[in-house]
Structure 1
Amino acid sequence: PEDGVAEVAVGLGKYIVDGGLALRFSPRHPENVLQTSELSLALRDTQTRMYALDMKGDARETSISGQKIDKPASAPSLSVDDGYNVAKLRVQDVAEKGALKYMVSTFDFRDNVIRDSDFGEGRRVVTFNNVLKHKAYPLAESVDFMLTTGQEAMQRPVEIEFAGMIGPDPKMIGPGEKHKGRLYWLQIRPIVDRKETVDEALMATPDEKLLLKSGTALGHGNIEGVNTVVYVRPEKFSSSNNSLIAREIEKINRGFLDREERYILIGPGRWGSSDTSLGIPVKWPAISAARLIVESSLPNYRIEPSQGTHFFQNLTSFGVAYFTIDTNARKKEGDPVTDLYDVEFLNSQPAVYESDFVRIVTFQTPLAIGVNGLKGTGVVVKPEV
């Protein structure tokens, strides 16, 4: 772990924040990348889409790198939404224009091998092999420098964000200057190390007494003073309504902030995703009063958990716990239950607020909430009613 890990993608870094298939590697072992270690893995577990800026503004139909992009007729010329002019493109289309040189390899379907070049026929595969293995650009060395220097300066492990361009840009090179590209160090944050203790008796509560149980939890310690649950009604849920739900949650959160109260937030899919098909597209201020955020699954709506860097930084910085609950995960008969969500219990309680999409239940006594960050487990005990 002390060697660090990097996650990189072609195009805008928003792709990584949204949980896309980015490439992971250790900067001290750049030649050993699990995702490209076998042909089948490289074809299955590497990036196929990328984000780029739509430079045509509010044109209804635009072209980026030769690819047509259809935009809705209501597309604004300027917006407070930072994703309004972002286009999602196929890596294959962009690579064919030569824009991803050194970052992609080519699958030779005749010989069934991947060649570390962007020439020839076949699918382009985002491997970064020419950068990580053949040293066309010192990315691994630079990332290792940033992690090491940052840790020395902050006296604790750090998390960084960076962006770069591979290949010299004539506009940036002065007379006689030669380089392989540019790397920009965007952010650095200390990784918060919390020392709270966790009540083991609480963590061992029998399943029949639990409201929530997660085998994939972030945070550590006991959370006190929370007696309200805000949850998206599973029986009414449709991803087509996610934008409406986001606005409703924002209004609810504002009320909690005004009253200086905290709550548990439960909903299907990814909280904070900019892709409304993956989850409810709230920004952090819209859920900032939550002390526990839960991403649940539905039988026909199973989404990979959130991976956004900013999302998890906010959780750790503000002491917010996070549960992923997949009650549909296939288990062998006799295996212990790792994920549990008793929505029937919540539905049976009187609501202090209820709409088509959201329900709020407040209990007389605070809920007992425990998270063991070392084991990645979390529980919420049902109150006495």
Structure 2
Amino acid sequence: MGNIPDLKKLALRDTAFADLMNQRIYNILIVASRYDSFILEDDGRVDEQIFNEYNSLSLSSPPRFTQVSTKEEALEMLGRRNFELIICMPNMDHRDIFAVASDIKSAYPAIPIVVLSPFSKEVSRRVATADMSAIDYVFSWLGNTELLLAIIKLLEDKMNAPADTETAGVQIILLVEDSVRFYSSTLTHLYKFVLEQSLEFSKEALNEHQRHLRMRGRPKILLARNYEEAVATFERYKEHILGIVSDMSINNGGEKDPYAGLK
């Protein structure tokens, strides 16, 4: 127990809150079939839902969403406007969503691409065996906007972790899980808890500067999907690790290791 830090002594080094979370996601391109676009609209405009989520948690600058239906429309839109994130959804006129995402990534390698797909054995098999190097993340999509919020914050945390840990000593929560279904669910709940607790914590601030500092300086959540990625992330941020949430059985060297979580 001697290696566990006293949480009461953990504090952000004073810094201008403008220096934290410098890289943000402002514009998101959704590539979805007309049917999926209709479902998104029928459930309520996705940008309005995300705005409400941001507003309820006192988060600033909610992203704007642009929807297209084909790979060709996506490439045309990407040539005209700047986007920080591309989300691809299934059922795109019977096209292979993973192939579409790979083609878009080839044209715009610097933009993160996330694939949202209903959970199935076929998706799990594809993620486990296919070359997924062109796709940053795959998530199990059940139509919940809470997952979209978690995806946005996960990518922002990944982009800002190097600078924010160095600048202000921001803490890191490391999630180690290789199941698409389980990390999709866990991240949703984990972000909800961290954001709500950060909001409560910020209310204790003495002034506006400290309130913004505490919200922007909340613990960041990073996801590792195999043993090697987990070790590399831990070694990079070991001075800033607040906690690790790990599955016991995860991929290690391309194979399932039933005790990798203990290592």
Same fold (TM > 0.5): no
More helix by share: 2
**Larger RCO: 1 or 2 (CA < 8 Å, sep 6+):** 2
More strand by share: 1
Compare CA radii of gyration and give the structure with the larger one. Answer: 1
